[in-house]
Structure 1
Amino acid sequence: MAVRASLRDTSGYGSGLRKFHLFCDIFSVPENIRLPAPFAVLHSFALWAATDPTQDDPYLAAVRAWHIAQGWPPPLSLDDHQRINWSLRGLENIYTSRRKPIRPPVTLIMLSTLKGCLQLNDPFDACVWAMASCAFFGMMHFGEISVNSRSDFSPARHITRHGAFFGTDLLGQSYARLDLPSAKTAKPGETQSVFLTEQGDLCPLAALRNLARVVPALATDPLFCWRDSRGDTRPMVRKRAVERVNGILLAHGWGTTFGHSFRIGGASFYLAQKVDPEIVRLAGRWRSLAYETYIRSFEQVASRHLAGLASQLHSSAALGLGTLATSSAAESPACG
């Protein structure tokens, strides 16, 4: 009782401790090194917590008090605190010297507004919407689904219509698989797969089908392409897509964002909906040796972990998914 009473008048300790457990959950810190927590864990936690400019809670003090209350000695020595403070000063220098602003995450409301402002029967807008929906729910870099210039497109480095498939998993739920011939998180020459599931009114599967309808293309053409006024098929240039997105978000008071913000936003959305952080790591293709063996099995249970979350937060009816029929665990080209 005396130990608990000693914490009652210490403001911010509760939120500081919750922040520590959130950090541990996101980065899959095992229970046995949360209490007592070693220096390496608390060092990383301090740097992670310091990147949130909206919070000013005594994070390390909260963790220290928690250790003492549970009968453990203080987890950090004076030298440990000096090392952490040294790193925090370095982190502050990094953020102070940044030329580019910190990328904000795209939120579900922003994604919904974006869709409402795009003309989905227009070839250019249909492509932008398919890119935005896939990048968000597939936690993809915009650079993985766009090109730097029209002449930059190469089937060896960019996904084509041939690299997109629809399938049905073991639960009978539809999904799409995008095979990326090149990705930031892949080794040279390694193909990575992105799995997309049904997501109600913002569904990336429906966005892909709409793109295939509005912009018919050959199997060797870019997956994310559009047609100009002369009827020529053109790969989507990253700069133009981001400009279209930024124009809409800026008009609604959200400022400007960046292509990477969709990947950040998708991961943040799934974590906020309490999706297992390991599943988010796997779906987002962050490196994890424990899951590389099971990547092919994941597509068969993807809907169990990721599907339907957006529809729970939106009252709008789900978009129709077209007439493409697939048998259990079968695949067919999504866009061709």
Structure 2
Amino acid sequence: MDLSKIKDFLKFGSTKKQPNALDIHFLGGYKWNTLLSYNSAVRKFGKFKEATGQREYSLPVSAPELYEFCYWAGRNATTTSPQDVASKTLTKYLFGIQAWHLYHSTVYPPEAKAKITVLLRSSAHTDAQSPKRPRKAPVMLKHLVSLTETLLPGGPYQKAVLDLAITAFWGMARLSELTSEREEGTLRWSATLFTSDVKFYQTPLGIAAALEIRGAKTCAPGDSQTIHLQGLNHMLCPVAAVKRRIAKAGPNNVPLFGFNTPTGRVNLVKTKVVRTLGQVWSEHGYQGITGHSFRVGGTSLRFAIGVPVEEICALGRWTSCWNSSSIDRDSTLKRARTQQTESAAVIDYSLSANATETENYTRSNRSSLLNRLSSPIAVALPSKNVLSETIDKPDTTNIYNNQNTKLYLEANKGKNK
């Protein structure tokens, strides 16, 4: 756990405080992304105190201070300020401030709840009258191709990021589920995806991979979820991406997504990966794509080609969404369904010029793509025993020389002349 990234949360008010063993044990009860979110909340509150001329303050925060914070940070009908955030974001900040009090064993003012509820409702009314932000764009096939063109010629880090991106898209995964908490040092087993968490199995369409995820956002401590990946016959094959990571990792049981350096192994962390991806897409003229766009993009593609809702929910690990009427209760599914038209247009983008086999995903054989994207979902349904036909991990020593898994863009230049 890299405590330097949650230093605001560790402060007792404005005073720095070194956590003891009990404090660190307490922090272990939260997922790492949750702690980062809480730290952002405390940092926002600290900016509020600075803006109001109170650089030194302590805990507990008083009810009037919370009211002023809600007015300062939330939108209101009379003034507009750069620090304004949506009421939903402000609500998350308040949860973070409550957790901050809990960590420091101080009492969050219970009498503030009723008035804060009304203040948040007022901000929500103002949000409804404000211009809506443009939707965050989903990752689509053309974005993955652009990543390949830029990252593939790079070094070990760039290749690792590319394999991570391919896996996140086809697996409808959150980047936080595939990345590590820190680049080096001891990692929490319960929040890390290791090479030993990968199992390969056979389907009627070929080899598939299952990734056991313990650090999922919706996963209870001690439980795990599974990401299923079906092999595809082109340069963006997720199973090939996983094989490459295992090959680079060697015999050691290390985080799956990382790379080797002369000084040792370096794990991919979400913040750095998101920054790298953003730089690449910006160079290609793409805007509005975030780390969560992989999950939305993979989902919208399946909506576009007609994968049944229950299968999308199974592969995406939405445990409480098994029919079309419940989609509107989940923001990711709802956004993916509304953006399926855009993804459908990209299905017709031919990958044959860069593919390692001649399969061409156009409208004429969209059913082939449907089968390939449905097959790992079908075996993921609760009535199936996914790993009943588990096979040994294949030999990964010649992955970059295998034509079926090779990523190089120029692989078929001679064949297409």
Equivalent position of 2:164 in the other structure: 131
Task: Please tell me whether the aligned partners of residues 259 and 265 of structure 2 are also in contact (alpha carbons under 8 angstroms).
Answer: yes
CA separation in 1, counterparts of 2:268 and 2:295?
18
Query: C-alpha offsets along residues 232-286 of structure 1, whole Å, 9 cap, x if unaligned?
Result: 1111111111111111100011025221110111101111111112111110001
3-state DSSP class of the match of 1:178?
strand
Equivalent position of 1:209 in the other structure: 243
Task: Please tell me whether the aligned partners of residues 199 and 390 of structure 2 are also in contact (alpha carbons under 8 angstroms).
Answer: no
CA separation in 1, counterparts of 2:392 and 2:129?
46
CA separation in 1, counterparts of 2:130 and 2:227?
35
Structure 1 residues 197 and 245, CA, compared in 2 at 3 Å: closer, same or farther? same
Equivalent position of 1:166 in the other structure: 200
Distance apart, 1:211 and its partner CA: 2.4
Equivalent position of 1:253 in the other structure: 285
Structure 1 residues 287 and 154, CA, compared in 2 at 3 Å: closer, same or farther? same
Picking from 338, 356, 359, the partner of 1:318 is 356
3-state DSSP class of the match of 1:272?
helix
In the TM superposition, what are the counterparts of 1:17-56 in structure 2 within 5 Å? none
Distance apart, 1:177 and its partner CA: 0.5
Structure 1 residues 313 and 97, CA, compared in 2 at 3 Å: closer, same or farther? same
Picking from 390, 394, 397, the partner of 1:330 is 390
Q: What amino acid is the match of 1:195?
A: H
RMSD over equivalenced CA pairs, Å: 3.4
Q: What amino acid is the match of 1:196?
A: L
CA separation in 2, counterparts of 1:101 and 1:116?
27
Counterpart check, 1:277 vs 2:309: yes
In the TM superposition, what are the counterparts of 1:49-88 in structure 2 within 5 Å? none
- Higher mean alpha-carbon deviation, 278-287 vs 116-125, is at 116-125
Equivalent position of 1:237 in the other structure: 269
Structure 1 residues 310 and 289, CA, compared in 2 at 3 Å: closer, same or farther? closer
3-state DSSP class of the match of 2:299?
helix
Q: What amino acid is the match of 1:159?
A: L
CA separation in 2, counterparts of 1:143 and 1:253?
25
Q: What amino acid is the match of 1:314?
A: L
3-state DSSP class of the match of 2:223?
coil
CA separation in 1, counterparts of 2:294 and 2:215?
19
Q: Percent identity?
A: 25
TM-score by length of 2: 0.47
Equivalent position of 1:268 in the other structure: 300
CA separation in 1, counterparts of 2:251 and 2:149?
28
- Higher mean alpha-carbon deviation, 255-264 vs 151-160, is at 151-160
Q: What amino acid is the match of 1:318?
A: T
Q: What amino acid is the match of 2:239?
A: L
CA separation in 1, counterparts of 2:195 and 2:136?
30
Q: What amino acid is the match of 2:157?
A: F
Q: What amino acid is the match of 2:314?
A: L
Q: List, as ranges, runs of 4+ consecutive aligned residues in structure 1 with deviation greater than 6 Å.
A: 309-312
Picking from 215, 219, 224, the partner of 1:191 is 224
3-state DSSP class of the match of 1:184?
coil
Distance apart, 1:288 and its partner CA: 3.3
Structure 1 residues 172 and 330, CA, compared in 2 at 3 Å: closer, same or farther? farther
Q: What amino acid is the match of 1:271?
A: F
CA separation in 1, counterparts of 2:208 and 2:316?
15
CA separation in 1, counterparts of 2:321 and 2:229?
22
TM-score by length of 1: 0.58
Task: Please tell me whether the aligned partners of residues 126 and 211 of structure 1 are also in contact (alpha carbons under 8 angstroms).
Answer: no
Picking from 255, 260, 279, the partner of 1:222 is 255
CA separation in 2, counterparts of 1:290 and 1:129?
32
CA separation in 1, counterparts of 2:206 and 2:171?
16
Task: Please tell me whether the aligned partners of residues 136 and 288 of structure 2 are also in contact (alpha carbons under 8 angstroms).
Answer: no
Distance apart, 1:154 and its partner CA: 2.0
Larger relative contact order, structure 1 or 2 (CA cutoff 8 Å, min sep 6): 1
Question: What is the count of residue pairs matched by the alignment?
Answer: 222
Distance apart, 1:220 and its partner CA: 2.4
Query: C-alpha offsets along residues 79-111 of structure 1, whole Å, 9 cap, x if unaligned?
Result: xxxxxxxx9x9487169599x975321111011
CA separation in 2, counterparts of 1:290 and 1:254?
33
Structure 1: gaps of 5 or more residues: 1-86, 292-308, 320-327
Distance apart, 1:194 and its partner CA: 0.4
CA separation in 1, counterparts of 2:322 and 2:168?
24
